[in-house]
Amino acid sequence: MPSIVQELSGHRDLGGLRILLDCPFKATVLREGPAQDSGPGAAWLAYLCPVHTVDLDGWPGAADHADDGTMPCGTVLDYRSPEGRLQSHADLWLTPLTGVDPAAYGGVWSDFLDQADRVLLARVEEAAAAGEDSPLQNMLASMAVARQRAAQGDLGVAATALGPCETLAQYL
């Protein structure tokens, strides 16, 4: 018998595992994201505790399903295309953090990531010039991998490389 995750994902391969919330609680709800653009299954599945089920009521979920604490709250199984995952990173944290909008780069993810990296590096250098440490420093290595892989056309690895940055962005 297939698990609920297999059923909701349309039996597709997992594209990314993301931690979108810093929450110490176990999930009680598995929120099914909207349908995939193409093919069967949800775009993502998010594990949420009772507090975040209410707090994140605006997340465009298709349905909520009971969960018995199989994952920590904030864990997201992402089944979207690499481009969809990159757009999600941009929407959730990268554009708000840098002010760089991927739409300005006409779908060229490597150019978008290069510019976002320039902004992060400039902020790190400004902090260093002021004698301060910047938490953005911790993002630079992952951003470098994302930029390099996007330039090589491997958007899947580029999107995955942004995962640690997304986790760090929660603390900013």
15-40 residue pLDDT tens = 888 888 889 999 999 998 888 777 77
Question: Which residues make Cβ contacts (< 8 Å) with residue 54, sequence separation at least 6?
Answer: none
Give residue 161's pLDDT.
95
Give the closest residue to 112 by CA, choosing from 101, 120, 98, 96.
101
Question: Which residues make Cβ contacts (< 8 Å) with residue 117, sequence separation at least 6?
Answer: 140, 143, 144, 147
- For helices 109-129 and 140-151, the axis angle rounded to 10 degrees is 160
pTM assigned to the model: 0.87
Give residue 25's pLDDT.
93
Q: Where are the domains of the chain?
A: 4-78, 82-169
Average pLDDT score, the chain: 90
